[in-house]
Each structure stands twice: as structure tokens, then as C-alpha cells.
Amino acid sequence: MPRSRSLRRSAATAAALVCAVTAGTLLGVAGPAAAHGGPAEPGQTDLTPHVTSPRVMAEMRDDEIATLGPEHAEEHARMRAAIRGIGDYPQTTRTNRLNALTDSQAAHNAAFDAATFGVFNDYFPSPDFGDHVALLPTGKVLLFSFERIETNPEKEPAPTQTTGAENAGRAFLWDPAKGTGPGAFKQVTPPTVDMPDGLGQPRPAPFFCSGHSFLPNGMLGVFGGNLGGNGGTGAKLSLIFDPWSETWTRNPDMSVGRWYPSVVTGADGRQLIMSGQSELGWGTPTPVVERFPAKGFPVPTARTDTPTNTPVDRLRSDAPFTLDYPHLFSLNDGNVYGFGRQANEQWKFDPVTESRSDLTPRPDGRKRNYGSAVMLPGGVNGPDSALILGGDRDNPSTLRFSNGSWTAEKSRAFGRTQDDTILLPNGGLMTVNGAYDIRDYGNGPYNPNADLKYRQIELRDDQGNWKLGPVQRLPRGYHSNAVVLPDGRVMVTGDELQQLANNPDIDGTVSGIPGTTGPVTMNGTIEIYEPAYLHQGARPTLNNVPTAPVVYNRMFTVTTSTPTLASKAVLLAPTTSTHSVNTSQRHIDLRITSRAGNRLQLQAPPDAKAAPPGWYMLFLLNDQGVPSVAQWVQLNSQS
């Protein structure tokens, strides 16, 4: 934003605030609008403000509601709340920071050829921080986090230590097909929950810092969250997001609270839930392993199979991780591998026998902070190995686990934590985001100034070689995320501190977002990266895929209007991630068994161990690895 526009905005905001304060002085200052908790009686005007943020509710005034109407009064309240929240981190600093980052990105990236390194080409505001993300089989992206309690990036914006109404969840959908404006987003607020904190203050479920993975019918299971206080107290929440109806469902609580758990979907389609700080607060990680749906309850496979009144049950084996958010992967032997952040906390879990066995300790012997890990492509039989990388600011090494043992792979350029490493359709890896430590970008905790290197992506080819690439606009560390979209682009989001520190208008409310009845705070940002393959010539076209579920090991037919460009077919599982943990993404080659004109016959993965049941993006690639736009297919063991 130009400086003159920023000054005009500040002046306008101040003037509006003076008008609001003057009106309050003349008419008498009343209590907060929380008193207006219910709808109007028949025949009366409904003066209930459409407010979701407790900070805004605290600034609502009865006199303004009566004289201006609820929506206009809410605008005044939001301005007051925003100005109070700015504190000692002025808007001018935020604007100058973003301008400096924009300029340095352009200068640095001018040396990188898009056809070799890809390019960052879009950057736009989002109504959510994006601390949690999930690419849904509708092509939309679910983003969720929390209602901020602070706008100063030198302080903690999350209500970790907060109980009551301020500790609330927040969720939105972004539809890439609708572009980047407010109309491309939709608010999908989680269920209202009266949390067991003794305060009797229902609010949208505080599910931030939960764990999540996909069910076979494309729905997202979300487990845990924050009850508030004591360093982060685990919530027992068990929720489902239905991408088809775009609604939430709450199921019976888990037996234990979980703050920072991990969740993985196994070959049987059931989810295993591990780790997390318990309902007793920080320092009490739970060893209890729970399963959803519980045995005796069906695994949902159809779009209409919404789990309701569906409990978890407990596995007979425990998972004694002492640190939270372990990496969990279901590899192609059907077992779940748990790679803990402590070097000696590496275990294999058999979901069938409900047993746990030891794995060889990680040979680096070091504790890793939040760092990335990914299942490596394993051809048509699915992944049999995983790459553990990141999480150690002093060590750039990467370690591969395969067939029960560890081997050193080629290192990245430098050590980083809070990074995200994702699989691309061509089988390559991309690392984006990262920091020196939690809330530390190289210049001390809660100092948003970042070393440039943490903004630079790294790319790995199929020979395991890494190369540094262009830089992203914002540095993004803690709570950052990256998602491969069906068109092959990469969405980058997350890290509330950096988004607050570089917001060109921290007041930032917009109207017109579906699912809302008033202005919405534009908390976050999204940046789009185009990989090099989108700048390497013509793409294959994938026209039609089966609409019925594809059965394992059977042949199925797709059509393409560019059959001569279709050299390869792959499945790529969609991402759902948080805190550098991405248990879902996997890459599987599909055999092309025959060709006839514009028709290709493909062979599905051999079984659910190779690719757990669920929805996948199907890409066609040319002989240089350039992918088509993906189409969605569902894998299922039933015909």
C-alpha cells in the first residue's frame, strides 16, 4: 500500500473512531452487546449484532446498535478493537515491512528462470491464518485456526492460555475456481461447544492445534484442540467436516484430551490418533492410542455416510511419545510407522493385531523440532520408505527409513525448522517455509525480522539432488502450510505472526464473504507458487475419469484429448497438514495397460496397503513430467 494511502486510511479510521466515541459520549456508554444474546421478540427489530470475535463484542455499544443498526455498530466496534490491538506495533511498520519483502522478493527472484525453478506469481489476503489446511475432493481448501486475541506480532496471538468465549475456533473454505477475492471464500464455523472449563460460555469449537486426516469418503476427521490454560490443555473434541455439504458434525468426545496430536488413516480406512498434551495441561503427553470409527461402527465410504454419534475406541497398544506431533505414515506393508521427534522414539504399529514394536533409533541422535517428513514415491506398489528432514536448525541432513533401517540421503543447503516438504505430481519434492526455531526467524523469539534464507525454497529431483530456488513473499515458520492444488500449483499459507506483522491493513475487514452476515477480519494471506513444469510447454489433458469408485487392482478407463502427450499416470493423495506434519500425501504410479485412440486403460493400485481407501488426484504426465490438471477418483475395496 502506498504511504499516502496508508496515512489516509489511518486518518479515516481515527475520524470514524472519534465519531463513534462522540456518539457514545452524547448518548451514554452502555455495557457490551453480549447482553443482546437472543433474537428479538415477534414484532420487534432484531438488534442482535452478528459478531464472532469476543474482542469485538466487548467493544459493542447498546446506543450504537439502537441508533446505527447492528452491522454499522459492529464496524465501529471492529475499529475500536483493532486500534486497541495494534498497541506498540504500528501500522506503518507493517506496511513498510510488506513493501520491503515485496521488493526483495522481486530483486532476488529476477535471477531464477521459471522453466527451471518455477515462480511465485500471486499473493492475496485470506480471512484465516491457515494454521490448519486440507485440500478437499471438491477442489476447495479448508483453512482453520482461532480467533486472534492479539494483533502485535511480538506477542502471542493465539488463546492458548485463555479460557472462555475468547478461546474460539474459526474456519473458511477457499475455492480456487472463484479466484482470489472475498467471494472466493466461505465461512464454515465449527459447532458451538460449551467446553468443560466451568465457565458456561459456549463458542465455536477451539480446535486449533488439533490433528486430522481424511476418511475414505473424503470427509475430514479432526481430533483434539485447546481447552485453554496451563500451557495448553488438551480438548477431547472429535469433529467431522463434510466437504459435500460443507458442514461440521460433532461426535462423542475422545477418552483423553489432546493438544498437538497426530492422526493417520490406515489401510482399513480407520484413523489412528496418537500423542498430544492431555486434559491436565502442558507436560502430560498421553500414550493412549485411539481409533475412529471404533470397531463395530462402519467405515464411511459414501458421500452420504456422515459419522454421527460415532465414538472412538482404544487400541490395546500405547504410543509413549514424549513430544507432540510425531510423523505417522501408513506404508505399503499395512503398518503405521511413528517417527517421533526424539531419536529413540521410533515405533511400528500393527492396526490388525493392535501391537507396537521398536524401530531402530534415528541415527542422528538428536531431538528434532517441528520439521517435515514425507513418504517417498514407491512406484505402483505405493510407498515403502519415508524421508525425515528439517526440525534441526543446526543440521541440514536428511535421513531415509526403509526396510527397517536408516540411511543418509543428500542434505539440503541449511538446517531449518517449521518447514513443509511436499510431493509434486512428477515425483519431485519441494521444501517451502521454515525458521530458526519456534517464533524465531533468526533474530530472536517474537522478532518477525527473518533471515532471507528461510524464504528460499529447495527442490529435490528423482536422483535426490537438492537445489535452492526463488524466495516467497513472507517468511513463514511456525504454523505454516503448503498444498499441491489439482491444477499443479502450490498454495502456501500459515504463520499468524508473519501475517500480522506484514498486514497492509490490520483493521482489514471485508464484506461479501458467503456464510457471513457482516464484516470479516482478513487475518491471513495466501501465496501461489507455479512449479517449473508449468513453464515447460504443453500439458496433457485429462478429460474423463470414472465417477464410481475404482476398485483395487482392477482396470479402469480414462479419456484424453492429447493421447500422444500422456506418457505416465499417477495418483497423488491430497494434503491435510499442520505443524509440519502431513500424514496423508502419497504418490503412486499407475500402469497404463492399453491405449485405443483417446482412451487409456489404467490399473488401480494393488490393494489398500499401497493406497488407503479414499479420494486421490489423478494426473497424466508427459515424458518430461509435465502434468495435466488433475481429476478426482475414489479408491475403494468394494465394487
Distance CA 346, CA 355 (A): 14
Number of domains within the chain: 3
Cα distances from 94 to residues 90, 97, 505, in angstroms, run 7, 5, 8
Residues contacting 456, CB < 8 A, separation 6+: 468, 469, 470, 471
| Residue 307 domain-assigned (yes or no) | yes
Q: What is the pLDDT of residue 189?
A: 97
Percent of the chain's residues with pLDDT above 90: 85
Q: What is the pLDDT of residues 398-456, one digit of tens each?
A: 999 999 999 999 999 999 999 999 999 999 999 999 999 999 999 999 999 999 999 99
Decide which of 509, 535, 561 is a domain's last residue: 535
Residues 294 and 216 in one domain: yes
Burial (Cβ within 10 Å: 0-12, 13-18, ≥19) of residue 35: exposed
Cβ(590)–Cβ(602) below 8 Å: yes
Q: What is the pLDDT of residue 62?
A: 87
| Closest to 429 measured CA to CA, from 314, 587, 629 | 587
Q: What is the pLDDT of residue 87?
A: 56
Q: Packing angle between helix 3-27 and helix 91-109, nearest 10 degrees?
A: 160
Distance CA 455, CA 419 (A): 10
DSSP character for 610? T
Cα distances from 312 to residues 113, 212, 223, 272, 460, in angstroms, run 50, 14, 10, 9, 39
| Closest to 292 measured CA to CA, from 353, 211, 356, 347 | 211
Cα distances from 65 to residues 25, 55, 76, 276, in angstroms, run 14, 17, 10, 43
SS3 content of the chain, % helix, strand, coil (to 5): 15, 30, 55
Cβ(255)–Cβ(242) below 8 Å: no
Place of cell 535426490: 464
Distance CA 206, CA 344 (A): 32
Cβ(576)–Cβ(212) below 8 Å: yes
Q: What is the pLDDT of residue 507?
A: 84
Decide which of 535, 570, 602 is a domain's last residue: 535
Q: Which residues pair with 268 in a beta bridge?
A: none
| Closest to 311 measured CA to CA, from 276, 271, 277, 349 | 271
| Closest to 134 measured CA to CA, from 593, 596, 482 | 482
Distance CA 569, CA 547 (A): 17
Has this prediction a pTM greater than 0.85?
Answer: yes
**Cα–Cα–Cα angle for 276, 282, 285, nearest 5°?**
35
626 is in which domain, residue-wise?
Answer: 550-636
Which amino acid, one-letter code, is at 83? Answer: I
Here the CATH number for the domain that contains residue 486 is 2.130.10.80
Distance CA 148, CA 152 (A): 10
Residues 580 and 603 in one domain: yes
Residues contacting 243, CB < 8 A, separation 6+: 136, 137, 138, 140, 142, 218, 219, 220
Residues 519 and 628 in one domain: no
Residues 434 and 453 in one domain: yes
Q: What is the pLDDT of residue 23?
A: 29
Enter the C-alpha cell of residue 298.
462402519
Residues 142 and 272 in one domain: yes
Residues contacting 42, CB < 8 A, separation 6+: none
Which residue blocks in 28-151 are alpha helix, DSSP H?
54-59, 62-68, 70-86, 91-109, 114-117
Residues 516 and 561 in one domain: no
Radius of gyration of the chain (CA): 24
Distance CA 187, CA 271 (A): 26
| Residue 249 domain-assigned (yes or no) | yes
Enter the C-alpha cell of residue 223.
481430533
| Residue 21 domain-assigned (yes or no) | no
Place of cell 493421447: 563
Decide which of 486, 507, 535 is a domain's last residue: 535
Place of cell 506431533: 325
| Residue 544 domain-assigned (yes or no) | no
| Closest to 235 measured CA to CA, from 268, 269, 191, 270 | 191
* Residues of the chain below pLDDT 50: 1-52, 85-86
| Closest to 473 measured CA to CA, from 492, 445, 448, 497 | 492
Residues 459 and 593 in one domain: no
Residues 77 and 114 in one domain: no
Q: What is the pLDDT of residues 576-591, one digit of tens each?
A: 999 999 999 999 999 9
Answer positive or negative: Cα dihedral of 386, 387, 389, 395.
Answer: positive
**Cα–Cα–Cα angle for 457, 424, 532, nearest 5°?**
60
Residues 116 and 68 in one domain: no
Residues 78 and 164 in one domain: no
DSSP character for 360? P
| Residue 47 domain-assigned (yes or no) | no
| Residue 4 domain-assigned (yes or no) | no
| Residue 27 domain-assigned (yes or no) | no
Exposure b/e, 547-568, CB count within 10 A at least 16 = b? eebbebeeebebebebbebbeb
Burial (Cβ within 10 Å: 0-12, 13-18, ≥19) of residue 244: middle
Here the CATH number for the domain that contains residue 627 is 2.60.40.10
Give the up-direction half-sphere exposure of residue 484: CA atoms within 13 A in the CB hemisphere: 31
Q: What is the pLDDT of residue 80?
A: 61
Enter the C-alpha cell of residue 159.
488463546
Residues 102 and 236 in one domain: yes
| Residue 211 domain-assigned (yes or no) | yes
Residues 506 and 569 in one domain: no
Strand order in the sheet with 398-402: 373-375, 385-389, 398-402, 405-409
Q: What is the pLDDT of residue 187?
A: 98
